[in-house]
Structure 1
Amino acid sequence: MNTKRYLLSAVAVFVWLTIFGMIYHGKILESTYIETMQFWRPEAEMMKLMHFIYLGHILFALFFCYIYTKGMETGKSPIGQGLRYGLWIGLLLHLPMTVAHYAYVPYPAKLLVAWFIGGMIESTVAGLLVGKIYQKAG
């Protein structure tokens, strides 16, 4: 594994997750979160715990990029591999979670669908980023 490419891709994925999360959850889904306030901590309390969100993003980025390096196929487009990888990881993480959440937490269906769509966008773009970084280096 090329440590420089691995760390660069992990940083890129972390930055992507953080920016996308701020826009998607902080702006696009804001009204949905207001409608479902009963499920969430008070905003001031959430803000004090933001470091856990960043830690989660760091952990995701490190594992996501590490697994990508273990499955890369020589001779195939890194961008194509990144796209497929991101889609499959997105499905692996977000589809079962969406279905399970529907069963045990009374979240509105529109919120669950939005989370699934957002998760798929997150993972797919993350895969493309990693693929692009590995393409440039190759």
Structure 2
Amino acid sequence: MSDKVSVQEALLYVMVTMSAADSSMPDAELGSIGDLVKTLPVFAGFDGNRVVTVAQACGELLQRPDGLDHILEIVADSLSPRLYDTAYALAVEVAASDGTLPDEELRLLEILRDRLNLDKLTVAAIERSAQARFRSA
């Protein structure tokens, strides 16, 4: 069994894990995480000053040999199934924010959608939406 965290912490775990997937955390991705926490209703009431603390806790979990599996277990246990698509959308948003999608990020998205049992139509809609938002002229 995993440790439960708040909904907002679980969503932050998803975003931080996505940003760290390729062993770097670009400023664009970190900025995107901060912007999402400040603007999305799902983060209403969450103390934005805790973002760094939660990100550090996530980073410590990622250092464990079973870190990714443990984080995904925490996320699945801490979120209601109705927020699984929200978690995936946030992961896609962070991945797309720096304009690149390395193989590690693509693989993590695949793992996340499988772990959260998201249907293909939902996944396609979320991914297409991000492509449209981040497309350059």
TM-score (norm 1): 0.30
If each structure's helix is expressed as a fraction of its own residues, which one has the higher value?
A: 1
